[in-house]
Amino acid sequence: MLKVIAMIMKKVLFRVLFLIPFLALLVAFFVAVMNSSEKLASTEPSFLEEGLFQVRLFRSGEVIFERFLPFDSLVTLHYIHSVTKRPVEEDYGVRVDGRICLLEMRFDDFGANLPVGPEVTATERTIFLVEDDHYKVIYPNRCFERVPLRIGQVIADHRLLFEDGQTLRLLDLAPGGSYVEFYFHPFPSY
């Protein structure tokens, strides 16, 4: 009986001694893979929590305004409609990928180029809401690399309203009739 127990112990010991180096090698392999993937990930750009919002003159590319904005900040374009003489507001959100997305438009009277109901395009269907004192259009998928705008000469008085309370009157930056574009540049950090 002792001989049988000794033989079983010998086989178990052999297997354990064989498995320990194998398991150690397996663990070392996984540690090496994990370390190399962390190094690879660290060489790819990550992004800070903000980017640079700019207003540029279209023809020259000259930057006439810039400021830092956190990702997902709202920028509201406020203007007076040339026909209705009533305010219109468009909310834009800045995204981590650099796109500027039109999220919502609000107005209280119908006029030229203002929607009168939901719109359908190849990429989205807008939501048109009638609220107590205004109409609201929600844009689920209306994003741009840049937003073009011709600054109003007489009535529009285009203004950018930022979440921190800053108001930027575009006529203070460029004459009426100027063609400008809004950009958002996220900051890569390595």
* Joined tokens for residue 117: 């109901």
Residue 178, pLDDT score: 96
pLDDT at 26 over 70: no
Same structural domain, 85 and 67: yes
Instruction: Copy the structure tokens of residue 65.
Output: 């305004």
17 and 111 share one domain: no
Give the pLDDT band of residue 22 (cuts 50, 70, 90).
very low
Within 10 A of 139 (CB to CB), how many other CB atoms are there?
20
Query: pTM higher than 0.85 for the full model?
Result: no
User: What pLDDT was estimated at residue 6?
Assistant: 55
Q: Are residues 5 and 32 in the same domain?
A: yes
Using pLDDT thresholds of 50, 70 and 90, give the confidence band for residue 187: confident
Q: Do both 102 and 120 map to the same domain?
A: yes
Do residue 54 and residue 38 come from a single domain?
no
User: What is the Cβ-side half-sphere exposure of residue 60, based on CA atoms within 13 angstroms?
Assistant: 8
Write down which residue in 44, 60, 75 finishes a domain: 44
Instruction: Please state, in angstroms and rounded to a whole number, the distance separating the CA atoms of residues 128 and 104.
Output: 10
Domain total in the chain: 2
| Cβ atoms of residues 127 and 115 within 8 Å | no
What domain range is 63 assigned to?
Answer: 50-189
Residues 68 and 38 both lie in one domain: no
Does the pLDDT value for residue 164 go beyond 60? yes
| 6 half-sphere exposure, CB direction, 13 A CA radius | 3
Same-domain pairing of 140 and 172: yes
Q: What is the mean pLDDT of residues 156-169?
A: 97
Q: How far is CA 104 from the centre of its chain?
A: 15
Let me know whether 61 and 35 are in one domain: no
> At 137, is the secondary structure helix, strand, or coil?
strand
